Amino acid sequence: MISWGIIGCGNVTEVKSGPAFNKVKDSRLAAVMRRNAGLAEDYAKRHNVPKFYSDASELINDPEVNAVYVATPPSEHAPYALMSIDAGKPVYIEKPMALNYEECVKINDAAEKKQVPVFVAYYRRALPGFVMVKEMIEAGKIGTIRAVHLQLFKAPSKDERDGKLPWRVDPKIAGGGHFYDLASHQLDYLDFVFGPVKEIKSVALNQGGWYQAEDYVSAAFMFDKNIAGTGIWCFNAHESAGRDIIEIIGDRGYIRFSCFTFDPIIVETEEGRKEYVNERPEHVQFFLIQQVVRTLTENIAAASTGLTAARTSRVMEEMVKGYYKGFKV
């Protein structure tokens, strides 16, 4: 039985991940930690968790906890992951894996030295609809892949316009801006489907001036087999321009789907156009957590590890490096 402890039981753990630890076979949620003891206790009571802490080291060293889920903002991922690894306990880290690629390497080096598994919550690698797209591509449904196009446009929130900035746009906490928070899912999924990115050319800007982080990124990139990719991420657009599109083009058709809105998956070939339901599970991390637990109990490989997630951090860092050159994040 994998008995999990959560460090940082905030919003992401309420529905997306936390309840899944008790619903996966051979898994249970044994303890939670939040610096505010009252909030930790409240979470524990609402989710029927036996123990709660306000000190991460106490949770990590609890003998009943044998695996740790780090669900804090990225600036705290590496410190808590390294503490868990040092205690010999497998760690499942929220995405992005760490504040920067250098921290990802430190985590992976420590894990290799201690022989402790590391997983990262890029859960689209396990969601049925996204796995189906990968399988269609591998089966040659749209032929030889020529290009991949990403578009993600969002408007600044009212809080951002009012100067009430969320941590997700503070590079010292998040590593970057919304690009790090959201594009990480898209880019990691492409790594899952096509393998590592080989070349990158990019532009990163701040156009709106609402916060310090980048709010616009455009990039051209290459995978093996001459598969070309482009992406445009704009978090300073008007609401009417909002979009969430991933398009994969082959020499016999194309596949179009969304990353975040779970719109139907559209496949068009010479046989015609078909739409497939891309259902959003109640707990979107369930299938990946299930894989992680099976890795720990049955030695069945999970799709998202510290090594794959570090590649995604490296790609994001390369795409925004021109913007951040000259000041330390």
Q: What residues contact residue 324 under an 8 Å CB cut-off, 6+ apart?
A: 171, 176, 204, 214
* pLDDT level of residue 111 (50, 70, 90 thresholds): very high
Share of the chain above pLDDT 70, in %: 99
Confidence check: pLDDT of 180 > 70: yes
Q: What residues does CATH 3.30.360.10 cover in the chain?
A: 125-281+313-324
Does residue 115 come out as left (phi exceeding 0), alpha (psi in the -120 to 50 range) or beta? left
CATH code 3.40.50.720 region(s) in the chain? 2-123+285-305
198-225 pLDDT tens trace:
999 999 999 999 999 999 999 999 999 9
Angle formed at CA 23 by CA 18 and CA 28, multiple of 5 degrees: 70
CA distance to 21, 157, 182, 191, per residue, from 162 (Å): 37, 9, 22, 36
Q: What percent of the chain has pLDDT over 90?
A: 98
d(CA 183, CA 12): 17
Instruction: Indicate whether 43 pLDDT > 90.
Output: yes
Return the DSSP state at 222: E
In the sheet with 91-93, reading across from the earlier edge strand, the strands are 51-53, 27-33, 2-7, 67-70, 91-93, 118-120
C-beta separation of 226 from 136 below 8 A:
no
Greatest Cα-to-Cα distance within the chain, rounded to the nearest angstrom: 60
pLDDT(328) > 70 = no
The fourth-level CATH superfamily of domain 125-281+313-324 is: Dihydrodipicolinate Reductase; domain 2 (3.30.360.10)
Q: What is the pLDDT of residues 114-145, one digit of tens each?
A: 999 999 999 999 999 999 999 999 999 999 99
Query: Among 151, 153, 131, 134, which residue's Cα sits nearest to residue 142?
Result: 134
Q: What is the pTM of this model?
A: 0.96
Report pLDDT for 329.
44
Tokens of 244: 């969430």
d(CA 320, CA 219): 9
pLDDT digits (tens, 9 = 90+) for 18-42: 999 999 999 999 999 999 999 999 9
Give mean pLDDT, residues 142-153: 98
- What topology is assigned to 2-123+285-305 in CATH? Rossmann fold (3.40.50)
Class of residue 282 by CB neighbours under 10 A (exposed 0-12, middle 13-18, buried 19+): exposed
Q: Which residue type occupies 144? A: T
How high does pLDDT run on average in the chain? 97
Structural tokens at position 70? 């780090």
Asked if 44 and 18 count as a contact pair (C-beta separation under 8 A), the reply is no
Tell me, what's the pLDDT at 325?
A: 80
Structure tokens at 188: 């990691």
